[in-house]
Amino acid sequence: MTMKPTVIALLLLAPVLTLGACHQGKKNSTTASIETDGVKATVEVTDPWCRPTPNGAQAGACYLTIKSSHENTMTGVATPMAANAMVHDMTMANGMMNMSEMADGLPLKGGEKVELKPGGKHLMLTGLTGPLVEGSAVPLTLTFSDTPAMTVQAPVRQPK
């Protein structure tokens, strides 16, 4: 009996594809909460990640999804991996993409997710202390107007 090369390849790849499918459902998530006057306020950050940078790069970008249980503002970000970290937004004006700091912070509406992603809002790291290397993680400390600061570990990886 002869097996076609395609069938053999599929049989060999089946375990690898199955393991890959199992892994995709796992998300990196961190939650911070505070209780005031019996009311619990939470902020949840999911899927934080940073794009790898080449050696010598002075800037990098990180992304995440954030959800607050109440009206809140992400007022800042800090990391030991960079001299400066801030929230930036990308906008189109006169056919040109412009990047600018969100000096008043990132507004969070209660119960709504805000996605920081390539081509839009993102965390900008400048004055990097070294390259962001794929497979490592960047600690990001996020500060808020109405909840305690929280630190998330953002894996360095290529975009999905």
Q: What are the CA-CA distances from residue 104 to residues 48, 61, 90, 150 (Å)?
A: 22, 19, 15, 19
DSSP letter at 153 equals: E
Non-local (6+) Cβ contacts of 122 within 8 A are: 61, 62, 63, 87, 88, 90, 116
Residues of the chain with confidence (pLDDT) below 50: 1-25
Residue linked to tokens 């690898």: 16
CATH top-level class of 29-155: mainly beta
pLDDT of residue 30: 72
| 8 A C-beta contact, residue 150 and residue 45 | yes
Non-local (6+) Cβ contacts of 69 within 8 A are: 40, 41, 42, 43, 110, 111
Cα–Cα distance for residue pair 55/132, rounded to 1 Å: 8
Question: What's the pLDDT tens digit per position in 25-39?
Answer: 456 777 766 665 666
Give me the residue spans of the domains in the chain: 29-155
What angle (nearest 5°) sits at the alpha carbon of residue 25, between those of residues 70 and 132? 80
Residue linked to tokens 């209780």: 35
Strand, coil or helix: what is 23?
helix
What angle (nearest 5°) sits at the alpha carbon of residue 111, between those of residues 122 and 159? 30
HSE (side-chain half, CA atoms, 13 Å) at 150: 22
pTM of the predicted protein model:
0.78
Give backbone dihedrals phi and psi of 20, rounded to 5 degrees, phi first. Answer: -65, -40
